[in-house]
Amino acid sequence: VRKKAMVTGGAGYIGSHVTWALLEAGWDVVVIDDLSTGRRESVAAAAAFILGDVGEPVTINAALAEHRPDAVLHLAGSAIIPESVIDPLKYYRNNTAASRTLIEATVNAGIDAFLFSSTAAIYGVPPRMPIDEDMPTQPITPYGTSKLCTEFILRDVAAATSMRYVSLRYFNVAGADPKGRTGQSTPISTHLIKIACETIVGKRSFFNICGDDYPTPDGTCIRDYLHVSDLADLHVTAIEYLVAGGASEAFNCGYGHGYSVAEVANVIRQVAGGHIDARIAPRRPGDPPQLVADARKIRRQFGWQPKYDDLRFIVETALAWERWLQARAA
Ligand code: UFG
C-alpha cells in the first residue's frame, strides 16, 4: 500500500524538493501552502494541492480529515532572519503558533509521525565547532527562538501522546534540483549563493561580502552549505524511519565541513568564468562567525551517504535554476 504524506510549505524552496523526493520514493503527497512565499508552479503535478494556512484550525482539520495522511512533514514557516528581528510577532505566529495548531490537529487526527523543519539558528553562537545536537540551544534571533519553541512543543507532546517526531536542524541549504524541476524562487532572498547567482545572470551588478574581520582564517564567515536534494532525501529517510516506529530524535543536517564567504566567492567566479564584482561590506547583524554541523549522528543513524557534497555542483545547480527563472521572465 502506498503511504501518504502531507507536506506543509510544499510550494516553497525546500518543500518543493522534498515533495519530488517523496514522489520518487513512491509516496502519495498532499501539499498545503498559503503561497505567501511559495509558488503554485513549484508544486509537483503529481501532488494534491490545498491552498491554505496550517495555522487555521478549520483549514488544517478539514485537510487532515479529507486526506488522512500517514505522516506530516512541516516545512511551512518564515525564514528571513533580519525580518524576524523587525517583526518578531510574525515569526511567533508563523513558526510557533501555527506549528502548535498543526501539531494539535495532527495528534487529534491520530497521526503519529511528524517531521519538523528546524534550523542551526537554534544554537545561536555555539561555544565550539562543530556543533553537535547536545550543545546548548541559545538562539540570538527571534527566528531561531520561534523554531526552538516548536521543538519544545514537540518534545512535550511526544512525551504525553503516541506522536513521534524528527526535528531536522538544517544548516545552509543551497543549490537546486539537478533535474531542473524546481529551485529557489523566492523573490526576496538573503541567501549568499542565491544572491551570487543573481549577480552572475545580471540581475544584480555586484554582491556583498558581509564582513571580513571575523575571527576566521580569512576573516569571512564560515557556513556548512548543504545541497537541497541531499536534504530532501534525508526527509524521505527520516519519515520512513518514523512511520516504521522510530523514536523521536533531533538531527543536524549538514556535511560537517564549512566554506568561508570568500571561498564561496571564488567558486562563484570559477563557475561564472569571468569577473564578478564581490565587494567587502560591513558585517550583517546577527551573523555567527562560524556554523558547521557535527553530522555524525545522522550519518550513523541512517547510514547517510550524501550525493552532492561539492560546493561547485551546488553553485552550478543554483545557477542553472537562476538562468531558467531569468529566461522565463524575459
Ligand atoms: N552573506 C554575504 N553576502 C550576502 C548574503 C550573505 O556575505 O549577500 C554572508 C552572510 O553574512 C553569512 C553567509 O553569507 O555569513 C551566509 O548567509 P546566508 O544568508 O546565506 O545564510 P545564513 O547563514 O544567514 O542563514 C541560513 C538560513 C537560516 C538558517 C541558517 C543556519 O537563512 O534559515 O542558514 O545556518 F537558520
What DSSP string describes 197-265?
HHHHTTSSS-EEEE-S-SSSTTSS-EE-EEEHHHHHHHHHHHHHHHHTTPPPEEEEES-S--EEHHHHH
- What is the rounded distance in angstroms from the CA atom of residue 107 to the CA atom of residue 30? 18
Cis peptide before 130 (omega within 30 of 0): yes
User: Crossing angle of helices 311-329/261-272, nearest 10°?
Assistant: 60
For ligand 1, atom 21, name the residue with the nearest CA. 191
Q: In Å, what is the CA distance from 254 to each residue of 241, 299, 304?
A: 19, 10, 11
Grid coordinates belonging to 311:
560546493
For ligand 1, atom 27, name the residue with the nearest CA. 172
Q: Which atom of ligand 1 is found nearest the CA of 210?
A: 7
The pLDDT score that the predictor gives to residue 186 is 85
Do residues 4 and 215 make contact, with C-beta atoms less than 8 angstroms apart?
no
Query: What are the DSSP E strand ranges found in 123-206?
Result: 164-170, 172-174
The pLDDT score that the predictor gives to residue 330 is 82
Q: How remote is the CA of residue 38 from the centroid of ligand 1, in Å?
A: 20
The pLDDT score that the predictor gives to residue 163 is 98
For residue 66, with 0-12 CB atoms within 10 Å meaning exposed, 13-18 middle and 19 or more buried, which class applies? exposed
The vertex-253 CA angle with 251 and 258, nearest 5°, equals: 135
The pLDDT score that the predictor gives to residue 187 is 80
Q: Which atom of ligand 1 is found nearest the CA of 224?
A: 35
209 lines ligand 1 (CB under 6 A): yes
226 lines ligand 1 (CB under 6 A): no
Q: How remote is the CA of residue 40 from the centroid of ligand 1, in Å?
A: 26
Q: How remote is the CA of residue 307 from the centroid of ligand 1, in Å?
A: 23
Q: How remote is the CA of residue 30 from the centroid of ligand 1, in Å?
A: 30
- What is the rounded distance in angstroms from the CA atom of residue 148 to the CA atom of residue 137? 8
Ligand 1 site-directed mutation target among 117, 125, 140, 210, most atoms within 8 Å of CB: 210
The pLDDT score that the predictor gives to residue 34 is 97
For ligand 1, atom 10, name the residue with the nearest CA. 210
Conformational region of residue 35, where left means phi above 0, alpha means psi within -120 to 50, and beta covers everything else = left
Grid coordinates belonging to 175:
543549490
Catalytic residue ranges? 143
191 lines ligand 1 (CB under 6 A): yes
What is the CA 207 to chain-centroid distance, rounded? 23
- What is the rounded distance in angstroms from the CA atom of residue 50 to the CA atom of residue 33? 7
ipTM reported for the complex, 2 dp: 0.95
Mean pLDDT by 10 residues, the chain (330 residues): 96 98 98 95 95 98 98 97 95 98 98 98 95 97 98 98 98 98 90 97 96 98 98 98 98 98 98 95 92 98 98 98 93
- Domain architecture of the chain: domains with CATH: 4-171+226-253 (3.40.50.720), 192-223+256-329 (3.90.25.10)
The pLDDT score that the predictor gives to residue 270 is 97
Q: How remote is the CA of residue 191 from the centroid of ligand 1, in Å?
A: 5
